[in-house]
Structure 1
Amino acid sequence: MRAVIPTPATRAVPPGRTGPAAGGPWHLHADPALAPVERTVRELLTPHLGPLPPAGDGSAAGPLLRLTLDAPPPAPLTTVGIAPDGAPAPVDESYGLSVDATGITCRARTPAGVFRAATTALQLIALADGGALEAQEITDAPRYAWRGLLLDPARSFVPPQQLRRLIDLAALYKLNVLHLHLTDNEGWRVDTPSVPSLTPRPASGPDTFYSAEEYTALQEYAARRYITLFPEIDLPGHCAALRAAVPGLPAAPAPPGVEGRFPYVPPLDLADPRTRETVRGILADVCALTTGPFVHIGCDEAVGITDESFTDAVRELRAMVRELGKRPVAWQESARAGVTEDDIAQFWVDPEMMDLPASEEELGLRPDLLDAGFTGEFLGALRRFFAPSAHDVERVLAGGGRLLLSPQSHLYLDRRYAPEVVPADRAADAARLGFPSYRPRDVRHTAGWDPASHGIPDDRVAGVEATLFGESLQDFDDLTTLLLPRLAPLAGTAWSGRPADWETHRHALARHGRLWRERGLVHFPATEVPWS
């Protein structure tokens, strides 16, 4: 059965050998040093197999899933990028996996590698159609050390229990970073003791932010799945929630002719002493809560700020985070404030990706934009605003920094599904979900993204991160509808470093609908996938 995603680097089928009966009942056994991994694997398998009995408990005989620390055969990939746990070199996640008549053996040099092998074993077991598993030998290793997913609880809050379900999903596809966009105009979603007015307790109903205890527990939950939680406090723009909680913060200086012409929230002025003190207190709270080494400072779409004020703000935010013991990451616009070898910029856009009409005639051919209220004047302002993005990657490379790849053209999952792949009974969802100014695309478009297409040298790539912003989301099912099936092929590309062959991949992807259903996750049944 060849439905595993990411596709393993090497797979050999020994002639004349068969694997175990797929139906089990399966038993789980791990080396003593892997007891924490065993507990987590048991939790991940439960939705598919029910509670697993331990090996040797005297119950009926069945196949065995073994987890062992042992050197696997070398995998043919070399890992590149930044280690999300802050280590000088990426952790060894390479693994070997063997399927024979007695069961499945997962082996690796490190617990992280054993865990990655176990997620492959889980897919083999959960996606089997009865009968016997195929005997096989697998070796595998990741191409990119940083393989992330951004979620946006700022605009559409994701309660802790639902977030745990998404952490499990990310782990099943070998992602190792969960980037939480915690603040924006629409909300502030993390406990901030220095400014308690940011997270008031509701008069009734549950909190819509993560308390310090919940945030810590989420980090621990993710860490048991070898995932690093990565917080974002988006400044100096995207700050309406902060302005509402702390009235009177002055606006940053605006360029001539911009103020009052277009609707935007004035960015913060980091030259103002009160603003600077408030922001430093917030970042101190978040850095103290965060166990991982990175904190994202935003720096995107700061509409209505002069170049000089933006440069000062970026430099001030970077310096604060470094003084607080963390390493700053920012969106690509931050490169306009200068770049050093220690800087990481998240690449998300260039003028071509914005895909904006260049004339009134072209606008007339885009009903999606007309329906969203776009005018020729507004489009002209957008084109001028995004014009500098054409050179952001050059700025990062020239300064010696690294790029976290999140191109909006393919890795932004808050994009509508193309009409030609929408089933009739899901037309309403397809029309409602997704950012209105992005051209709708099919799953094949997303799955075909090649990291090498941007021409960025491997040694300058920090990693790969898909994003799902929450402007159009109403509930958890909306979130997973946009996420699935597109997350799976992107996770495969982040692991292997290249896109899978679509014709092969779409048949593999079809099997995963069953896995998502067993986990209670709603997905979008795009018609280009032959769903099982």
Structure 2
Amino acid sequence: MRVLRRTLGTLLVLGTFGAAVSCTAARGDDARPGDDPPAALAPFERLLPAPASARAGGPGYAFGAGTVIRTATASGEEVRQLGELLAEQLRGPSGLPLPVVDGVGGDGIRLRLDEEAEGVGDEGYRLESAPDGITLTARTPAGLFHAGQTLRQLVPVAGPGIVPGGTVEDRPRFAYRGAMIDIARHFFTVEQVKRYVDQLAQYKVNTLHLHLTDDQGWRLAVDSWPRLAEHGGGSEVGGGPGGYWTKDEYRELVAYAGERYVDVVPEIDMPGHVNAALSSYAELNCDGKAPERYTGIKVGFSSLCVAKERTYEFVDDVLGELAELTPGRYLHIGGDEAHTTPAADYAAFMDRAQAVVGRHGKTVIAWHQLAAARPAGGAVLQYWGHDKTPAAEKAGVVAAAKAGHPVILSPADRLYLDMKYDATTKPGLAWAGHVPVERAYSWDPGAYLAGVPESAVLGVEAPLWTETIATRADWEYMAFPRVLGLAELGWSQAGSLGWDDYRRRLAAQGPRLDAQEVNFHRAPGVPWS
């Protein structure tokens, strides 16, 4: 297996598609008659996610040893730090110095904040490439960061060369573009998750949802309830040693993600999926007896004791400490598959849990089962149903959306990254069916749930559950390239979506993924070079 830890400079380089980088898969049956190889696509035609507008024109910019990155002192320290990060990302194996200097006058790569920039919104940008330099313009630092990620796809990966001339004007379709990693079923380190943050951020994914607790393990230290991590963190699926993050490690990840404009949304699943907590503290059980730790993959058998006041002290303590650690606006409280919690008890529990989130200054996200209870004002529902989900269950989500609750779409038969590609896939599950790359991409979030208008869709998220995922190699194989489809569905405008065009641009990402040593699935139907 490839090494897990990589330095930032090695991991982030890696612009795109230089002639010196080649993909190892043969085109073979992946190509169709008339397909152009990815290298034949014009540079602006390779961009992923597809930008709102890209116009090639005029001579390009000579990227080389004399290139500098320019930021204006008036733009503040945040833009200066953005310039430093972009320089590190662009240096790669070329060894180009790419110093960051003050002032946006002169040639080079210029980072400009313009609060009056038109047509880009809060996260969008304009990229202009001409012989005298490349200008990145945005209203916000987040927009400048996204502009820099687009530039990485235009800069020759192997070193000096021409960045094509032209203009890209871009903005996201949805505000929330997320991916989830489950570290509860199998434990993963902060360093491993940082790698995923880098992989996601370069494709403009802006949210990382962390599934921190489940029946199999509790993965975050909680000062007021220390046995949650010390005991509950000591197991995982299959009987492995498990593990947990300290608060400092969690803070480190949150800061790292924040520097890449990725918000962390932590999840403490409740009132079900709690065997690790019940095993850690007998007082959370209605009978006062702690069960053994659990290492299987069945769901729906555990529940906090809804009748005990001690349960709500636990909820308040845990969510309070988590809120203090998390600068983002959301806390996710799960709420799915609470099969042993009677409906009335479930609704009563979720009332109180949602109130706790509000008291700690955060907004609730919960799985869409919350619709069957009483969603608090402003609560966000995350829909994980699929084609065979009962109509009545979908109707509850539609009603909640019409009542003003935003919806995040994570349909299991489209965006669950742990679903097998096909019958030959070794890791993964298939309870929602097989999810090949084309199926994961070929749907419209704005029109997916009948009765839920696009205005009610906060965005999309691709979860990766880890019942069968224990290594980086399997994690990346299941996530890539499907998570790139998630990135495009969340960012690109509806008129830019289409499988035939996307699969060619996806193929053009192959050298980039190879250069970053990503263990990705070379999906059939994609003309990998």
Using the size of structure 2 for normalisation, the TM-score is 0.80
Q: Structure 1 residue 31: deviation in Å?
A: 2.4
Aligned to 1:434: 428
Q: Structure 1 residue 93: deviation in Å?
A: 1.3
State yes or no: 1:74 paired with 2:118: yes
**Correspondence list, 1:182-197, <5 A:** 182-197=212-227
State yes or no: 1:138 paired with 2:181: no
* Letter in structure 1 aligned against 2:282: P
- The 2-side partners of 1:490 and 1:22 are apart by 31
- The 1-side partners of 2:299 and 2:211 are apart by 22
Aligned to 2:349: 313
Q: Return the match for 2:190 from 132, 135, 160.
A: 160
Q: Is the 8 A contact 2:176 2:458 kept in 1?
A: yes
- The 2-side partners of 1:526 and 1:156 are apart by 26
Structure 1 residues 500-520: Cα deviation after superposition (integer angstroms, max 9, x where no partner): 221221111112122122223
Q: Is the 8 A contact 2:197 2:208 kept in 1?
A: yes
Label 1:239 to 1:51 Cα distance change in 2 as closer, same or farther (>3 A): farther
Label 1:103 to 1:489 Cα distance change in 2 as closer, same or farther (>3 A): farther
- The 2-side partners of 1:35 and 1:333 are apart by 44
Q: Is the 8 A contact 2:354 2:376 kept in 1?
A: no
Q: Structure 1 residue 283: deviation in Å?
A: 1.5
**Correspondence list, 1:5-20, <5 A:** 5-14=48-57, 17-20=58-61
Aligned to 1:482: 478
Label 1:8 to 1:64 Cα distance change in 2 as closer, same or farther (>3 A): same
Secondary structure of the equivalent of 1:296?
strand
State yes or no: 1:53 paired with 2:57: no
Q: Is the 8 A contact 1:150 1:467 kept in 2?
A: yes
Q: Is the 8 A contact 2:272 2:300 kept in 1?
A: no
State yes or no: 1:283 paired with 2:319: yes
Aligned to 2:490: 494
Q: Structure 1 residue 73: deviation in Å?
A: 6.0
Structure 1 residues 177-231: Cα deviation after superposition (integer angstroms, max 9, x where no partner): 111011111111111111111112899x998222111111111111111111110
- The 2-side partners of 1:146 and 1:10 are apart by 21
* Letter in structure 1 aligned against 2:53: T
Shifted more, 319-328 versus 479-488: the winner is: 319-328
Q: Is the 8 A contact 1:3 1:127 kept in 2?
A: no
Structure 1 residues 74-106: Cα deviation after superposition (integer angstroms, max 9, x where no partner): 33x8x7xxxxxxxxxxxx112100112244221
Q: Structure 1 residue 156: deviation in Å?
A: 2.1
- The 1-side partners of 2:241 and 2:67 are apart by 39
Secondary structure of the equivalent of 1:244?
helix
**Correspondence list, 1:440-519, <5 A:** 440-451=434-445, 452-455=447-450, 456-498=452-494, 500-519=497-516
Shifted more, 25-34 versus 520-529: the winner is: 25-34
Aligned to 1:395: 399
Structure 1 residues 430-467: Cα deviation after superposition (integer angstroms, max 9, x where no partner): 2x211231311221111112112324223322222121
- The 1-side partners of 2:434 and 2:214 are apart by 25
**Correspondence list, 1:37-186, <5 A:** 37-47=82-92, 49-50=94-95, 52-54=97-99, 64-70=108-114, 74-75=118-119, 92-126=122-156, 132-186=162-216
Label 1:72 to 1:505 Cα distance change in 2 as closer, same or farther (>3 A): farther
**Correspondence list, 1:194-213, <5 A:** 194-200=224-230, 208-213=243-248
Structure 1 residues 26-60: Cα deviation after superposition (integer angstroms, max 9, x where no partner): 53222233201112222333446456431679xxx
Aligned to 1:82: none
Label 1:72 to 1:530 Cα distance change in 2 as closer, same or farther (>3 A): farther
* Letter in structure 2 aligned against 1:483: A
Label 1:207 to 1:441 Cα distance change in 2 as closer, same or farther (>3 A): closer
Q: Is the 8 A contact 2:52 2:493 kept in 1?
A: no
Q: Is the 8 A contact 1:299 1:330 kept in 2?
A: yes
Structure 1: gaps spanning 5 or more residues: 80-91, 253-261, 355-385, 420-426
Structure 1 residues 475-508: Cα deviation after superposition (integer angstroms, max 9, x where no partner): 1111111111111121011012436221221111
State yes or no: 1:414 paired with 2:418: yes
Structure 1 residues 288-311: Cα deviation after superposition (integer angstroms, max 9, x where no partner): 221212100000011122111111
- The 2-side partners of 1:130 and 1:501 are apart by 33
Q: Structure 1 residue 391: deviation in Å?
A: 2.4
Aligned to 2:364: 328
Q: Return the match for 1:521 from 497, 518, 522.
A: 518
- The 2-side partners of 1:347 and 1:126 are apart by 40
- The 2-side partners of 1:489 and 1:406 are apart by 13
Secondary structure of the equivalent of 2:467?
coil
Secondary structure of the equivalent of 1:339?
coil
CA RMSD of aligned residues (A): 2.8
- Give me the identity figure in percent: 33
Structure 1 residues 293-344: Cα deviation after superposition (integer angstroms, max 9, x where no partner): 2100000011122111111111111011112222211111011112354121
Q: Return the match for 1:215 from 229, 235, 250.
A: 250
State yes or no: 1:338 paired with 2:374: yes
Q: Structure 1 residue 25: deviation in Å?
A: 6.9
- The 1-side partners of 2:191 and 2:248 are apart by 14
- The 1-side partners of 2:524 and 2:286 are apart by 49
Shifted more, 166-175 versus 101-110: the winner is: 101-110
Structure 1 residues 330-379: Cα deviation after superposition (integer angstroms, max 9, x where no partner): 111011112354121111115x345xxxxxxxxxxxxxxxxxxxxxxxxx
Q: Is the 8 A contact 2:489 2:497 kept in 1?
A: yes
* Letter in structure 2 aligned against 1:221: Y
Q: Is the 8 A contact 1:406 1:412 kept in 2?
A: yes
Q: Is the 8 A contact 2:382 2:408 kept in 1?
A: yes
* Letter in structure 1 aligned against 2:459: G
Aligned residue pairs, count: 460
Structure 1 residues 3-36: Cα deviation after superposition (integer angstroms, max 9, x where no partner): 111111111122xx22134676753222233201
Label 1:264 to 1:336 Cα distance change in 2 as closer, same or farther (>3 A): closer
Q: Is the 8 A contact 1:19 1:132 kept in 2?
A: yes
Aligned to 1:371: none
Q: Is the 8 A contact 2:156 2:163 kept in 1?
A: no
Q: Is the 8 A contact 1:339 1:399 kept in 2?
A: no
Aligned to 1:85: none
Aligned to 2:23: none
Label 1:268 to 1:107 Cα distance change in 2 as closer, same or farther (>3 A): same
- The 1-side partners of 2:442 and 2:67 are apart by 36
Label 1:144 to 1:316 Cα distance change in 2 as closer, same or farther (>3 A): same
Q: Is the 8 A contact 2:87 2:99 kept in 1?
A: no
- The 2-side partners of 1:47 and 1:208 are apart by 33
- The 2-side partners of 1:93 and 1:152 are apart by 27
Q: Structure 1 residue 468: deviation in Å?
A: 1.1
* Letter in structure 1 aligned against 2:525: E
Q: Is the 8 A contact 2:331 2:357 kept in 1?
A: yes
Structure 2: gaps spanning 5 or more residues: 1-42, 235-239, 288-297
* Letter in structure 1 aligned against 2:218: W
